[in-house]
Amino acid sequence: MDGAPGDGWTPGFLGAHTIGDMGGWSFSIGRILGVDVRIHLFFALLLVVSVSYTSVAGISAGRGVGLWLLLLLAVAVREVARGIAAAWFGLQLRSILLLPTGAMPSYATREDTERAATAGVQRGLALVGPIANLVVGLLFVGFVLGMSSDLGLWSLLERPWITPNHLLRSLIWMQLLLGAINLLPAFPLDGGRVLRGELTRAGGGLKRTRLAAGAGQVIAIGLIVAGILLPNLLLMIAGVFVLTFAHMEDQGVLLESSVAAVRMRDVMLTEFSTLSASATLEDATQQAVHTLQDVFPVVRGRNLVGAVSRQGIFEALEANGNGYVQGVMTRSFHTAQPEDSLVQTLQRITTGVGAQLVPVVEGERVVGIITPQNLSQSMGVLSQRRRLAERSARVERSREEE
C-alpha cells in the first residue's frame, strides 16, 4: 500500500519544500520521454511583457517573441542536462515544472526522491545545470568568433546585455547569466538547494535554517537592484522569484517548527465513510451525497484495499457508465500510524495519481484519514486551541503572581 496519493496532495503546506503551491499556477505542455513537462504561467506574463516592450519601442513584435524563446531555450538547456544527470544517477523523473530561473523536478517514487536528496547526488544535479548553461554560452561565443569578427563579439560588454534589439548577444548572455545566477546560495536556485540540504543533513536547527532563508531574501533584493541599475531583465526576474521562494521558505520553516510535535492522531478525521470494493459506482455516488468527504477508503470486508475520490467516481461514470468501485480505485497509497509524526509522514509523501488520502491504521483497521481538505481545517483548529491554552496559562500565571 506504499505509493503516491492523489493529484494535488503534497506536503507543501510546510512552505516551499515542494512544488505543490507553484504547480497550481502551471499547465502541461506534453510528455517528453515519459516525463510530464509543465510550464509556469509567469512565462505567459513574460511573453506579454516582451511583446509589449517591442511595440512601445517601435520594434518588431517578432523580436519580443524571439527574446522570450531564448529564455525558454536557456531553461531547456539546463533541464536537459539535469535530466541526463538524473538518468546517470538512476533517478526516474515524473514531472518537471519550468520556471524562468530553471525548473523544479518531481520524482516517480519515494526512493528516487530520497536518493536525489543525498549529498553526492544533490550536488551533482545542482552543478550540472549551471555548468551546461555556462558551457553553451561559451560555445556560442566561439561560434560568433568563428563566423566573423564583424558580428560584434565585444558588444557583449555593452548594456543592456539582454535586449530584443540584439538577439545574438541576448542568446549568449541569457545562457551565461542563468548559469551564474543558479550558483547563488538562495532557494530555489541550485546553490540554495545544496545549502538547504547541507543544513538539513547537519541538523541545522531553526535558527540556522532561518538565517539561510534570510540570506536568500538579501540575495534576491540584490538581484532586483542590480537588474534595475544595469538594466537587466533576467536579473530582475530571478530576483522576484528568489524573493518569493525565500519568503515561502522562511514561513515554511516557522510552520514546520510549530507542528513538529503534532501526531497523526491530533489531526486525523475520525468520523468518515468507507466504500466497499464490490459496490457499484452508482451506489457510491448515492453514499457520497450524504457526506462532505471528498475521498473514501475502499475496503473488502475489514481489510483496506484502496482509495477513491468523489471526482474519480463521477469521471468514471461519465466516461464508461456504471461499474464497480474496485475498477476505479487506486491501490497505491501511503498509510500511517496514529503516533506517527505529521511532518515526517508528509515529508515521505510525493505527489502522484490517485485519491488524495492517507489512511491512519491500527493493525488492519482504519481509525482515521488525512486529506488535504481536512488537514488545513484541523491545523487551523489545533492552532486556535493552542493559542487559547497559552492565553489561559498566561492568565493563570498572572493570577498566581498577584
- What percent of the chain clears pLDDT 90, i.e. is strictly above it? 17
- Residues 59 and 110 both lie in one domain: yes
- Residues 206 and 68 both lie in one domain: yes
57-85 pLDDT, tens per residue?
788 889 999 999 999 999 999 999 999 99
How many structural domains are present in the chain? Answer: 2
Give the count of alpha carbons within 13 A of 86, CB side only: 24
Give a yes or no: residue 395 inside a domain: no
Compute the average pLDDT of residues 138-154: 75
- Residues 85 and 170 both lie in one domain: yes
Does residue 20 have a pLDDT over 50?
no
Give a yes or no: residue 331 inside a domain: yes
- Residues 202 and 243 both lie in one domain: yes
- Residues 253 and 298 both lie in one domain: no
Highest mean pLDDT among 5-14, 100-109, 166-175, 391-400: 166-175
Q: How confident is the model at residue 267 (pLDDT cuts 50, 70, 90)?
A: confident
Does residue 177 have a pLDDT over 70?
yes
Which DSSP string do the residues of 92-159 spell out, in sequence order?
-EEEEEEETTEEEEEESSHHHHHHHTSHHHHHHHHHHHHHHHHHHHHHHHHHHHHH-GGG-GGGGGSS
Q: Where do we find the cell 464497480?
A: 324
Give a yes or no: residue 109 inside a domain: yes
Q: Which of 258, 292, 308 is the last residue of a domain?
A: 258
Q: What is the CATH number of the domain that holds 371?
A: 3.10.580.10
- What percent of the chain clears pLDDT 70, i.e. is strictly above it? 81
Claim: this prediction has a pTM higher than 0.75: no
Give the pLDDT of residue 178: 92
Whether residue 216 contacts residue 208, with contact meaning beta carbons closer than 8 Å, is answered with: no
Closest CA to 22 of 216, 211, 205, 252: 252
In total, the chain counts a number of residues equal to 402
CB atoms within 10 A of CB 89: 16
Domain that holds residue 134: 16-258
- Residues 85 and 215 both lie in one domain: yes
Give a yes or no: residue 390 inside a domain: no
- Residues 278 and 208 both lie in one domain: no
Buried b / exposed e along 50-63 (16+ C-beta atoms within 10 A): bbebbeeeebeeeb
Higher pLDDT: 391 or 184? It is 184
